[in-house]
Amino acid sequence: MNSEAPKTPSNNDTPIPQKEDGFTVGPLDQGPPCCIPQPLIEIEDLAIHYGNARVLSEVSLTIHRGCITALIGPSGCGKTSFLTSLNRMTDMVPGCHVEGKISIGSVDVRQTKDVLGLRRRVGMIFQKPNPFPFSIRKNIEMPLKEHGIRNRTERTKIIQEVLEDVGLWAEVKDRLDSSALALSGGQQQRLCIARALALRPEILLLDEPCSALDPLASNVVEELLLRFRGRYTVVIVTHNLQQARRVADYAAFFWATNGTGTLIEHGSGTHIFDTPQQPLTSAYVNGKAG
């Protein structure tokens, strides 16, 4: 294990990026613009079961505010299960049982009664873009209404802001009432990210967000993630090690033995990809295992 600081510059003098190229990139007042390693999510001795099968065990990890943390490891080692436990999506899986402690700031994730508030704070983006089968506008408006934003002018403002944040505004501003399903895959994924941003989350969980996209669309989403650094705390599952290497301030490597995954090693992206301590990590990141 390693808790060395990430490669990203960490000092208070880094200027806050201003609106450029039509992007505003999230609430500007939400924190340090660079990756100052301050713990935000603390996971202690996490275990996850589906029925009698223990698929994840003994995972302890600190995730830092404003940083991008990549979860890597072969298929079936528990990355998605881990990710979805962070905003209690695991509650929705019949037979799923989570043990251990997850804290986000002062909130005890497993004990909190305010699951809606938790999910507002911790947004989730899935592998396959999943826009609602409605208009582009309604895709963002619906969750805003569900979360109690009754004022139409405020909703209209947020819709424009978040579409600008994901670089989609110029492409869709003249067809906000057209079906979201008519957008390309990459545009749909950016719409889903905009929908998550509309609720002003602090944390974004992304489960292989680029794997269903063509290389060009994938690059656009990756670029977007880099722009989120410092504004949102991003936790991303990716099988694309090149992508993980490019974006990760921190990386956590999982591996399963006899069906039970665990965390083998974590640390800065540089540490995991260039100087891993564990032979298994080295074999995996160099394409010799997994």
Ligand X SMILES: Nc1ncnc2c1ncn2[C@@H]1O[C@H](COP(=O)(O)OP(=O)(O)OP(=O)(O)O)[C@@H](O)[C@H]1O
Q: Residue 83: in which H helix or E strand, if any?
A: helix 79-85
Residue 99 found at the interface with ligand X (CB under 6 A): no
**256 forms bridges with which residues in the sheet?**
261
Residue 23 found at the interface with ligand X (CB under 6 A): no
Residue 75 found at the interface with ligand X (CB under 6 A): yes
- Give whichever of 43 and 194 is closer to ligand X, judged by the CB atom: 43
- Give whichever of 93 and 226 is closer to ligand X, judged by the CB atom: 93
Rg of the Cα atoms in the chain: 19
Q: What is the DSSP letter of 133?
A: S
Residue 55 found at the interface with ligand X (CB under 6 A): yes
Q: How far is the CB of 130 from ligand X (least distance, A)?
A: 16
Within positions 211 to 270, which residues make up the interface with ligand X, using CB under 6 A?
259
Q: Which stretch binds ligand X (CB under 6 A): 59-67, 79-87, 98-106, 216-224?
A: 79-87
Among 93, 115, 170, 182, binds ligand X (CB under 6 A): 93
Q: Which stretch binds ligand X (CB under 6 A): 19-27, 73-81, 117-125, 187-195?
A: 73-81
Which of 262, 248, 274 is closest to 64 using CA atoms? 248
Residue 126 found at the interface with ligand X (CB under 6 A): no
Q: Residue 85 and residue 272: Cα distance in Å, rounded?
A: 23
Which of 28, 8, 32 is closest to 18 using CA atoms? 28
DSSP β-ladder status, 39-50 and 96-104? antiparallel
| 42, two tokens | 């603390």
Among 9, 22, 39, 76, binds ligand X (CB under 6 A): 76
Residue 81 found at the interface with ligand X (CB under 6 A): yes
Structure-token match 């826009």, residue found? 131
Instruction: Determine phi and psi for 282, rounding to 5 degrees.
Output: -60, -45
Residue 77 found at the interface with ligand X (CB under 6 A): yes
- Give whichever of 39 and 259 is closer to ligand X, judged by the CB atom: 259
Q: How far is the CB of 45 from ligand X (least distance, A)?
A: 18
Q: Residue 37 and residue 49: Cα distance in Å, rounded?
A: 31
Q: Which residues bind ligand X (CB under 6 A)?
A: 50, 55, 73, 75-81, 93, 259
